[in-house]
Amino acid sequence: MSDNTVVRITDVKRTYFMGKVEVNALSGINLKVGKGEFVSIMGPSGCGKSTLMHIVGCLDRPTSGHVLLDEVDVDELDDNNLADIRNKKVGFVFQTFNLLPKLNAIENVELPLIYAGVSFEQRRKKAAELLEIVGLKDRMFHKPTELSGGQSQRVAIARSLANDPSIILADEPTGNLDSKSGEEIIRLFQELNSRGITLIIVTHDQEIASHSKRIVRLKDGLVVADEPVK
């Protein structure tokens, strides 16, 4: 059973200080995501969705509690090892795409491979394959400014897949897109999921969430509902 668990979060709390005011972003979250799952995390703004994503993605550390990623205890890792995890085990997709504007599509997709130490020829080949999968074969050498929002997000998704991660984390991936592009992105996620890729997306769009397989609802830093999509 443990073989299939990609993310296991136990009693995770995260406290910020906004000036002198203590803010409890997460107040004790328990969550388990298995291999091949497609989970939506929903909830009102300020409920801790993004903080949870950052902690799962090893961009941030919990104030207390445990995070296991692929059965590796993340708490005990130093900064360098966390960077390795972000590089190889996690693929991030952001609401604002977060592509590097000076690099073209294929160079953006290559970035995680550079930090993984992959040779130029291999990463070119891999990046080209990924861009083909997301349907941007003919846009490989375009800069982000020459791409539409939907296309930019596809590049970002290709980038997140570069090192064959255990999980893709998407934080409001359709939030900056029109409904048609958003629909295309969610279909791409469904297709990736059908190939066995584990996905967690944060969204507040019920329509988007209904395309996933399981919906987790947060409120005030706690899980208030966790049910499969009918």
| Minimum CB distance to other proteins, residue 83 (Å) | 4
| Minimum CB distance to other proteins, residue 63 (Å) | 14
Label the pairing between strands 38-42 and 21-34: unpaired
Handedness of CA 148, 149, 151, 152 (dihedral sign): positive
Burial code (b: 16+ CB inside 10 Å, e: under 16) for 49-75 equals bbbbbbbbbbebebeebebbbbeeebe
Of residues 84 and 205, the one with the C-beta less far from other proteins: 84
Of residues 116 and 224, the one with the C-beta less far from other proteins: 116
Of residues 94 and 189, the one with the C-beta less far from other proteins: 94
| Minimum CB distance to other proteins, residue 148 (Å) | 20
Phi-psi map region of 23: left, alpha, beta (phi>0 left; psi -120 to 50 alpha): beta
| Minimum CB distance to other proteins, residue 12 (Å) | 15
Q: Write out the residues near other proteins by the rule CB under 8 A.
A: 54, 57, 59-60, 79-80, 83-84, 86-88, 92, 94, 98-100, 102-103, 111-112, 114-117, 159, 163
Residue 97 burial by CB count (10 A; 0-12/13-18/19+): exposed, middle or buried? buried
Please tell me the distance from the alpha carbon of residue 64 to that of residue 222, in angstroms, as a whole number. 14
Of residues 10 and 98, the one with the C-beta less far from other proteins: 98
Of residues 159 and 211, the one with the C-beta less far from other proteins: 159
| Minimum CB distance to other proteins, residue 201 (Å) | 16
What phi and psi values does residue 33 have, to the nearest 5 degrees? -125, 125
